[in-house]
Chain A
Amino acid sequence: MTDEPTWAIGLAAALRRAGVTVSTGQVIACQRALATLTAADRQDRYWAGRTCLVSDPDDLVVFDRVFAAIEGAAADTVPEEGDGQDGGIDTASDAGPPPAPDPTYGDDEVALAGAVASERERLRHRRFDAVDERERKEIERMLDRLHVAVPRRRSRRTRPGRRGELDLPRTLERALHTDGELLDRAWRTPRTRPRRLVVLLDVSGSMAGHARAMLRFALAARRTADRELARRVEVFAFGTRLSRLSEALAVRDPDAAIAAAAEAVVDWDGGTRIGASIDELVRTWAPRGVLRGAVVVICSDGLERGDPAQLAASMARLRRHAHRILWVSPLAGDERYVPTQRGMAVALPYVDVLLPGDTLEGLERLADALARSS
């Protein structure tokens, strides 16, 4: 068991089988590490393997399991972890979601029936939850071309400018050409950077159609010509819990990413716990600076299943981190809409802008509101 080269290779192979990425360089490091330690000592083997072969805390549980399996013996240093499989796969697909908005409200097609609107114009006013597959594809294509901009803030870096502070390096360079005489002075002014855009998507049953469109909106922001903004778009999905989509979106097709997220964060009853999800967002991501000075867009119908007091408290906290909070609710498009006391009403005091955003035109207005929210 303590023939070091084969031991490290065997451990690495087992880790790879368990889904952990291990490079050859890391295996070599592990072999060299064992040579400097007491390879016969189980603790030394454990820490050498863990330090050299694992580079992500999420992989530590896997490592412990693989190590225990390789070592065969009783696991004294290794916590026995349950896999957390609690069978929560069944999502909102067939379980009763909260009541959908009354279908009679969404009668845009009636209003437009007499007009000879172009296909594009017609689609601009179609509610996302009332489109068929073909229309959805077309709307998504139009969304992909949407220009999304976010307000900018001052950065610590500077760029050459006409006024501001004296730019000594460039002034010096110019002085060299004029025999050291400071005739031509150069100046520098602060650069600006786009603020971070944080998009929170309610992916519970009744919101599925809107969440998909809103996700396209976030992706449009990522695709803008502004590369700095592109890197600063964060997307989270929530239902009863919160899940970060940003990374999944880099490798997956958006529809698959959102379906996977919905599976992970929506419980069988399809209820939405907005307060708990925002609380999780603030707890996990505020300390990492993701929310500081950001423009936050929450897309949800505001039908809170959890405790409204928690929603108010978590919104207050979010408010203190974020620069602006925009709330997109498909219900807000209806003139007769009154925020419910159990949800939206308690969140509203912390929201800068409330928009329907339930049609392409609505999302265009959201893009305008974003650009103006400085």
Chain B
Amino acid sequence: MSERPADPAAMARALEERAYLADRGLATALHLALRLGRPLLLEGDAGVGKTEAARSLAAALDAELVRLQCHEGLDRSQALYAWDHPRQLLHLRALEASGDRPADHEAELYDERFLLERPLLRALRRGGQAVLLVDEIDRADDEFEAFLLELLSDFQITIPELGTVTAPSRPVVVLTSNRTRELSDALKRRCLYHWIDHPDVDRETAIVRARAPEVPGDVAARVAELVARLRTLGLYKPPGVAESIDWATVLSDAGELDAQQLVDTLGVVVKDHDDLVAVRNAVDDLLAS
């Protein structure tokens, strides 16, 4: 792993090299997550770059990004480990064919080679070589959250058939949440916390330029300014940074920037029918500079 950034400014520079522009608050939060060895809980509107922050942090640290996408009903066999039953069965049949009594070889069935590593186990084994991203933790059940809390305090788990696995060093842990439900107080207190806001126009311009270098500066600035206005219209699905980047890319391909083109390509940023109607109605105000 490359050397860890020494302070928030170094963190911001390291992320910038990976085309991720973090403001001071986010850079400080990531810096502290690293230095204090605590998980970082990131919240913010859809599309502000929560997941991308973890991805870029992993790239900056030259560590592996291990991502666990949470959903309702997520359980240990999807999050931690599972046994490869088809291969176990094949092995059993092979033993039988060779004339052995399979029951004598039961221990063999629970060998490392039949173990399917899921994200949490992988991150645990990689330790400090990994950035563990637990994405949308609020979608998982309470029980899973409690289990995760336990894992995040000990960084070790026990597989009954194999023994205890302990992380060689602590992986960096980033959790994201969309606030569909309140997380437990215990989990929140264990974590550092950062709320990511939508970037301001200047920063968004810079982000578009960093992510899509082929976009001319004036197009990036115009798009950032328009997207900032769109976010004030009270849309059902306000555009995120990813939409700005897409829109800027589309518009830079088109060449000249005129009002008609902006209107024609609105579907790239506004992806909801009712929102589109609302934006078309307000289009004159929107485009007025």
Binding site for B on A (CB under 8 A): 21, 23, 25-26, 29, 32-33, 36-38, 43-44, 47-48, 50-52, 54-57, 60, 155-157, 168-169, 171-172, 175-177, 179-182, 231, 247, 282-283, 286-290, 313, 317
In the bound complex, what is the Cα–Cα distance between A308 and B96 (angstroms)?
74
Knowing A37-B7, A44-B8, A55-B191, the reply to whether A175 touches B28 (Cβ < 8 A) is no
- B25: nearest chain-A partner, CB-CB: A47
Choose among A23, A48, A54, A177 the residue that contacts B28 (Cβ–Cβ < 8 A). A48
B71 to chain A: which residues have CB within 8 Å?
156
Whether, in the assembled complex, B38 has its beta carbon less than 8 Å from a beta carbon of chain A, the answer is yes
**Beta-carbon contacts under 8 Å, B99-143 to A:** 101-103, 106, 109, 138-139, 142
- A32: nearest chain-B partner, CB-CB: B36
In the bound complex, what is the Cα–Cα distance between A175 and B96 (angstroms)?
11
Whether, in the assembled complex, B151 has its beta carbon less than 8 Å from a beta carbon of chain A, the answer is no
Knowing A29-B38, A175-B89, the reply to whether A287 touches B178 (Cβ < 8 A) is yes
A52 to chain B: which residues have CB within 8 Å?
32, 192-193
Q: Is B8 touching A47 in the complex (CB atoms < 8 A)?
A: yes
In the bound complex, what is the Cα–Cα distance between A188 and B138 (angstroms)?
28
- A21: nearest chain-B partner, CB-CB: B185
How distant is A173 from chain B, measured CB to nearest CB, in Å? 10
Q: Is A288 touching B95 in the complex (CB atoms < 8 A)?
A: no
Q: Is B189 touching A180 in the complex (CB atoms < 8 A)?
A: no
A38 to chain B: which residues have CB within 8 Å?
7
Q: Is A282 touching B236 in the complex (CB atoms < 8 A)?
A: yes
Whether, in the assembled complex, B88 has its beta carbon less than 8 Å from a beta carbon of chain A, the answer is yes
A57 to chain B: which residues have CB within 8 Å?
43, 179, 195
A282 to chain B: which residues have CB within 8 Å?
236
Q: Is A179 touching B101 in the complex (CB atoms < 8 A)?
A: yes
CB-defined interface of B2-29 with A at 8 Å, one 1/0 digit per residue? Answer: 0000011000000000000000110011
B32 to chain A: which residues have CB within 8 Å?
29, 33, 36, 48, 51-52
A313 to chain B: which residues have CB within 8 Å?
274
A-B contact pairs, 18 of them (CB 8 A): A36-B31, A38-B7, A47-B24, A55-B191, A56-B193, A155-B72, A169-B85, A171-B85, A172-B88, A176-B92, A179-B96, A180-B93, A180-B96, A282-B236, A283-B236, A289-B139, A289-B180, A313-B274
In the bound complex, what is the Cα–Cα distance between A44 and B31 (angstroms)?
11
Residue pairs across A and B with CB atoms within 8 Å: the count is 117
A60 to chain B: which residues have CB within 8 Å?
195
Choose among B102, B139, B178, B189 the residue that contacts A23 (Cβ–Cβ < 8 A). B189
Whether, in the assembled complex, B86 has its beta carbon less than 8 Å from a beta carbon of chain A, the answer is yes
Q: Is B274 touching A175 in the complex (CB atoms < 8 A)?
A: no
Main secondary structure of the interface of B (DSSP, over half): helix
Interface centre among A47, A60, A171, A317 (most CB of B within 10 A): A47
Whether, in the assembled complex, B194 has its beta carbon less than 8 Å from a beta carbon of chain A, the answer is yes
Please give 9 more A-B residue pairs, beta carbons under 8 A apart, in addition to A175-B89, A179-B101. Answer: A36-B31, A37-B7, A47-B28, A51-B32, A55-B189, A155-B73, A180-B95, A180-B102, A283-B236
How distant is B194 from chain A, measured CB to nearest CB, in Å? 6
Interface centre among A23, A33, A231, A282 (most CB of B within 10 A): A33
B41 to chain A: which residues have CB within 8 Å?
55
How distant is B229 from chain A, measured CB to nearest CB, in Å? 18
CB-defined interface of B45-89 with A at 8 Å, one 1/0 digit per residue? Answer: 010000000000000000000000001110100000001011011
How distant is A313 from chain B, measured CB to nearest CB, in Å? 7
Q: Is A168 touching B85 in the complex (CB atoms < 8 A)?
A: yes
In the bound complex, what is the Cα–Cα distance between A102 and B194 (angstroms)?
55
Q: Is B7 touching A33 in the complex (CB atoms < 8 A)?
A: no
How distant is B134 from chain A, measured CB to nearest CB, in Å? 16
Choose among B25, B72, B96 the residue that contacts A181 (Cβ–Cβ < 8 A). B96
Whether, in the assembled complex, B35 has its beta carbon less than 8 Å from a beta carbon of chain A, the answer is yes
B193 to chain A: which residues have CB within 8 Å?
51-52, 54-56
B234 to chain A: which residues have CB within 8 Å?
283
Q: Is B103 touching A51 in the complex (CB atoms < 8 A)?
A: no
In the bound complex, what is the Cα–Cα distance between A29 and B190 (angstroms)?
10
Whether, in the assembled complex, B154 has its beta carbon less than 8 Å from a beta carbon of chain A, the answer is no
In the bound complex, what is the Cα–Cα distance between A48 and B38 (angstroms)?
13
**Beta-carbon contacts under 8 Å, B138-170 to A:** 138-139, 142
- Ranked 3 nearest A-B pairs via Cβ: A288-B180, A168-B85, A47-B28
Knowing A47-B25, A55-B189, the reply to whether A176 touches B102 (Cβ < 8 A) is yes
Q: Is A51 touching B35 in the complex (CB atoms < 8 A)?
A: no
Whether, in the assembled complex, B188 has its beta carbon less than 8 Å from a beta carbon of chain A, the answer is yes
Choose among B29, B73, B109, B191 the residue that contacts A156 (Cβ–Cβ < 8 A). B73
In the bound complex, what is the Cα–Cα distance between A180 and B185 (angstroms)?
48
In the bound complex, what is the Cα–Cα distance between A52 and B28 (angstroms)?
11
Choose among B35, B43, B106, B237 the residue that contacts A36 (Cβ–Cβ < 8 A). B35
Q: Is A29 touching B36 in the complex (CB atoms < 8 A)?
A: yes
Q: Is A172 touching B195 in the complex (CB atoms < 8 A)?
A: no
In the bound complex, what is the Cα–Cα distance between A290 and B139 (angstroms)?
11
In the bound complex, what is the Cα–Cα distance between A23 and B190 (angstroms)?
10
